[in-house]
Chain A
């Protein structure tokens, strides 16, 4: 779609674009290309000299068991958060979509966690489930589980999934609710006249009609877990215990910290970029398909 009515000027449009283009080139393209370049370099221990090593950094990366572990961790973490938060928010959204009194109040009370910083969310949950002073650790210990997310990787991962889900519910809830409200009432009424009960109606009519929203949210949630949970991980586990909750993004950070393995970190960045571009491409393909409907 293009505008029919336009202004004509030779210089003005470039002047208008200049601020954004300048910032984008300096802080986006330059560093991104540096990341690509660095991934082919090996720096010495003091960062004084570097040499071109081709795909050595990548080869080295794929020889590390830690890298595969980070991949598995990321996959487990992403899918657990995506499934859990989508399920919970779909349940809440279908309830909030009913003609209830105070439905706006309920909505407000469900969406505000979006505003909480991931790192703060992590702090809230570690406080709640702290092995010695957590209010909720006590009942867990009382049923005989030796709860300690500082030492037990499974406990740590559980805590991460819970806090990441908690933070993401509000976002998914909003989009599900918007999706539900955009389903024409007449379709649901027609289904009711056709004699299908509420549960059957949900799975045969509403859920299929929501599938564009669901698909969109799955992609967004995966990207969310990839990147935005950095703060949660750093606050709750710091990637531990023993690196067992280190995700791909956290590993980029940890490996490159304090002038560590910059080449290896850059190689990981490049792989991450490729993954994200792939995810985005999938999303666009789907958006395109939706446009054709």
Chain B
């Protein structure tokens, strides 16, 4: 900025700090709630400093579960992890292959194939939810990881991102490879994939978060509680009669549900920002 007046910067610090406090406060409360027992929370007078029940809450939540459902959240986290990994890896795999085909080959119906994929950008799973459910049910994929994962990797985001990246790779690199005796497979393996590592990682970060946070789809297609994801699990904990809600367990679960994706964002911030900004172009 042109001016460098001190009070202006002080104001900026103040605004940013207030912003951070507002952003952090709900999570702070959840973390506090995860350190008290249920009755302390229920009477509406939860202190804003940590209690002493953290170990007990986290142990019970992870390995035993709430007293109503008795589903250990550890297992839900495992399910969420499998789903998130499956979606991230699956999307990267199919989209890097299709982008390679669309960018580096000319063949009949190339643009048709591209548009078939491209149109899927427009329609999220929410608008075709019941027919998709029916197909997955007909295929016998309810309560399976495959059923959780496959319908959510049908999207154009990755293909477009890779296509865009491949277009920036100089033509001469392929020509040099050709002169060096590399065919399509070698070029893909020796040059294209190593060059795409950052793009792959950025897409992975975004898709992992997307997969971990899925709600409607797992809600519909998981009927057995052993297949529940953590995001579904926590919702079920608080929809029972109000008085029965074990808020300490629910909030502990909420904290556990936030930890993996938030860590990913914080520690892979550069990749996260890159992925977010570029998938939207």
Interchain CB contact under 8 A, B129 and A138: no
Interchain CB contact under 8 A, B117 and A24: yes
**A-contacting 9-mer, from B58-66, B69-77, B193-201, B234-242:** B234-242
**B-contacting 9-mer, from A11-19, A58-66, A76-84:** A11-19
Asked if B97 lies at the interface with its beta carbon under 8 angstroms from chain A, I say yes
Asked if B244 lies at the interface with its beta carbon under 8 angstroms from chain A, I say no
**Known interface pairs A135-B29, A231-B231, A252-B126; A188-B97 also in contact (CB < 8 Å):** no
**Known interface pairs A115-B262, A118-B215; A5-B178 also in contact (CB < 8 Å):** yes
Interchain CB contact under 8 A, B135 and A92: no
**Known interface pairs A6-B106, A20-B117, A92-B15; A112-B276 also in contact (CB < 8 Å):** no
Asked if A166 lies at the interface with its beta carbon under 8 angstroms from chain B, I say yes
Q: Quick one: which of B20, B46, B175, B257 contacts A110, CB cutoff 8 A?
A: B20
Contacts of A124 in B (CB 8 A): 26-27, 29-30, 254
Contacts of B51 in A (CB 8 A): none
Contacts of B269 in A (CB 8 A): 107-108, 111
CA distance A16 to B24 in the complex (A): 45
Interchain CB contact under 8 A, A230 and B15: no
Encode A107-151 as 1/0 by CB contact (under 8 A) with B: 111111111111111011111100011110010000000000000
Asked if A48 lies at the interface with its beta carbon under 8 angstroms from chain B, I say no
Q: Quick one: which of B3, B29, B239 contacts A127, CB cutoff 8 A?
A: B29
Encode A212-238 as 1/0 by CB contact (under 8 A) with B: 000010001000000100110011001
Asked if B98 lies at the interface with its beta carbon under 8 angstroms from chain A, I say yes
Encode A187-200 as 1/0 by CB contact (under 8 A) with B: 01100100000100
Q: Closest CB-CB distance, A43 to chain B, in whole Å?
A: 11
Interchain CB contact under 8 A, B277 and A117: no
Interface residues on B, range: 35 or more
8 Å CB contacts to B: which residues of A1-36?
1, 3-10, 12-14, 16-17, 19-21, 23-32, 34-35
**Known interface pairs A100-B13, A115-B209, A174-B276; A253-B254 also in contact (CB < 8 Å):** no
Q: Quick one: which of A20, A107, A116, A133 contacts B95, CB cutoff 8 A?
A: A20
Binding site secondary structure of chain A: helix
Residue numbers of B with Cβ under 8 A of A are 1-4, 8-9, 11-13, 15-16, 19-20, 22-27, 29-30, 33, 41-44, 46, 48, 93-95, 97-98, 100-107, 110, 113, 116-117, 120-124, 126-132, 134-136, 150-151, 153-154, 159, 167, 171-172, 174-175, 178, 183-184, 187, 209, 212-216, 219, 231-232, 234-235, 238-239, 242, 247, 250-251, 254, 257-258, 261-262, 264-266, 269, 272-273, 276-277, 280
CA distance A175 to B153 in the complex (A): 25
Q: Quick one: which of A26, A114, A117 contacts B265, CB cutoff 8 A?
A: A114
**Known interface pairs A28-B154, A100-B9, A133-B43; A13-B110 also in contact (CB < 8 Å):** yes
**Known interface pairs A6-B104, A7-B184; A109-B23 also in contact (CB < 8 Å):** yes
Interchain CB contact under 8 A, A5 and B171: yes
Q: Closest CB-CB distance, A266 to chain B, in whole Å?
A: 7
**Known interface pairs A88-B19, A133-B46, A174-B276; A1-B98 also in contact (CB < 8 Å):** no
Interchain CB contact under 8 A, B26 and A125: yes
